[in-house]
Amino acid sequence: DTAVSQTPKYLVTQMGNDKSIKCEQNLGHDTMYWYKQDSKKFLKIMFSYNNKELIINETVPNRFSPKSPDKAHLNLHINSLELGDSAVYFCASSPGGGVAGELFFGEGSRLTVL
């Protein structure tokens, strides 16, 4: 059983399109995250949700909108895709709302914008 699963794994699309990436965790964790890994492999947090509530919203364009229908799911919708959005997007989860929990990552979704 995959603990944190993301779909799709690969996504190739044209500039200007709208796309979504889905994430699900079966660990019973309360907190979920979206991270972006750029071409230089640097990982940076984008959003974090705790029990469906947004708790971290980094300075990302408004074109990125996370949605958490329940605490096991955190989806990322991107409008009007741009070339610079090409990256690998990682979903992660951790237990509880506190700070001591270990993070578990999904396999990543590689987005390529042409």
Partner 1 sequence: KQEVTQIPAALSVPEGENLVLNCSFTDSAIYNLQWFRQDPGKGLTSLLLIQSSQREQTSGRLNASLDKSSGRSTLYIAASQPGDSATYLCAVRTSGSRLTFGEGTQLTVNP
How many residues bind partner 1, per CB under 8 A?
A: 26
Q: Among 52, 72, 104, 112, which residue interacts with partner 1 (rule: CB under 8 A)? A: 104
- List beta partners, residue 44: 36
Please identify, among the stretches 17-25, 66-74, 79-87, 100-108, the one whose residues bind partner 1 according to the rule CB under 8 A. Answer: 100-108
Q: DSSP letter string over 2-61?
A: -SEEEE-SEEEE-TT--EEEEEEE-S--SEEEEEEE-TT--EEEEEEEETTEEEEE-S--
- List beta partners, residue 105: 92
Q: Among 48, 66, 71, 81, which residue interacts with partner 1 (rule: CB under 8 A)? A: 48
Q: Check binding of 93 to partner 1 (CB under 8 A).
A: no
Q: Quick one: 38 or 82, whose CB is closer to partner 1? A: 38
